[in-house]
Amino acid sequence: MKVASLSKIKILTCLLVLSGIFGNVTTALAQSSKTIKNVVLVHGAFVDGSGYRGLYDILTKKGYNVTVVQNPLSSLAADADATTAALDRQDGPAILVGHSYGGSVITEAGDHPKVAALVYLAAFQLDKGESALDWAKTEPGSSKNGILPADEKGILYYDKAKFHEGFCADVPKELADFMYASQGRFAAAALAAKVTRAPWKTKPSYGIVATQDEAILPSIQRKMYQKAKAKITEIKGSHAVFISHPQEVADVIIKASKEIK
């Protein structure tokens, strides 16, 4: 009887130890699951996804799975489709980030079930039935803004003489020249397209104001973000703030990934 009792005690002790081990593992997994690890980055007009390299490097080194969408820029619908395709490939919830006109895109695509939160990066945060052009026209544009009239094919380009000062004044001139040379072929119709939904009404949203922006005026950014009740962060930077201040932008994305339950 004594031997049997000792055996039972040993078995119970082992079970308690294993329970503690697995309990700690379960707790650790539960804690780690609170941080969303997927980030989808959507670029705007007159640039491509390569501008996100600095942000990509910071986030991936911290363990995030980053996807950069390459927008065709041919229409809002086509860009939303490209973003939806990227979201379909995520293995779980994601933080969806859009820069500039990319804000229109993430608004149109943001009701995807895998989108946990939206980050508007010096971007248009539109309500249903609004377009980027609608908001751009609410105030007189900056004299430094160099968006040229649409050409005969309905395509918008940025004036080379104004690109550095008007779009990305806080990056080196050599980089600005490369960005100008690689600007996307942006359809004017995309800028005027109305979004058909407003997912930020049911999902958390974050708005980054670039306080030295000459493309989308900071005052317009603030008005949109305040109307949407987004959590606002202000960064002293140009419209290309994601290139000139990638760490500060990354901090907002990381904050969002940890706050979403």
Q: Is the per-residue pLDDT at 2 higher than 90?
A: no
Residue 218 in contact with residue 239, Cβ under 8 Å?
no
What does the DSSP assignment read for 75-90?
A: -HHHHHHHHHHHHHT-
Q: Phi then psi for 101, rounded to 5 degrees?
A: -60, -25
pLDDT digits (tens, 9 = 90+) for 24-60: 434 333 334 578 999 999 999 999 999 999 999 999 9
Q: Is the per-residue pLDDT at 191 higher than 80?
A: yes
The per-residue pLDDT of the chain, averaged, comes to: 90
173-183 average pLDDT score: 95
Domain boundaries, the chain: 1-33, 37-259
pLDDT digits (tens, 9 = 90+) for 106-140: 999 999 999 999 999 999 999 999 999 999 999 99
This prediction's pTM:
0.87
- pLDDT for 28 equals 36
93: pLDDT confidence band, cut at 50, 70 and 90? very high
Superfamily designation of domain 37-259: Alpha/Beta hydrolase fold, catalytic domain (3.40.50.1820)
260: pLDDT confidence band, cut at 50, 70 and 90? confident
Q: Is the per-residue pLDDT at 3 higher than 60?
A: no
Is the model more confident about 32 or about 212? 212
**Cα–chain center distance at 57:** 15
- pLDDT for 23 equals 45
Q: What region does 122 belong to: left with phi over 0, alpha with psi -120 to 50, or beta?
A: left
What does the DSSP assignment read for 155-191?
A: EE-B-HHHHHHHH-TTS-HHHHHHHHHT---EEHHHH
